[in-house]
Structure 1
Amino acid sequence: MKKPKPRREIVARALCWHDGRPQDTKFEGRPVWESYLPAADEVLTMLNEAGALAGDVDTEASA
């Protein structure tokens, strides 16, 4: 069974994809998506502070 990816990686890959960059292409010896980890950390921090990761988000606001 495949190990699930950490949220941090999922968010970093999504940001990379959103920018139109190939996620797994190597840049300076590392996958491009890894350069998005600082931004992913910010997103996760903001979601955590908003209670989104606990399921406490007002879904009507995002609809």
Structure 2
Amino acid sequence: MKKIFLSVFLVLSLNAQNLEIDKIRTDLYSKSGANVLKKVEISLEFDGNNLKENENKLIDAVNTV
């Protein structure tokens, strides 16, 4: 069973694309305080299909969240 799982996982991971977004800078607002604003910088790595074609959509989605 382990061999089957590992072989399926290997095949799926070989077909997946990786997209790395480095140092996204955004402002984080808080409702708890009066005009509390924090600057956040993160790096993200995505694994999946059609990532290169949808890179702009991913960046917009990350900025929205």
TM-score (norm 1): 0.25
Structure number with higher strand proportion: 2
TM-score (norm 2): 0.24
Question: Which fold has the larger relative contact order, with Cα–Cα distance below 8 Å and residues 6 or more apart in sequence?
Answer: 2
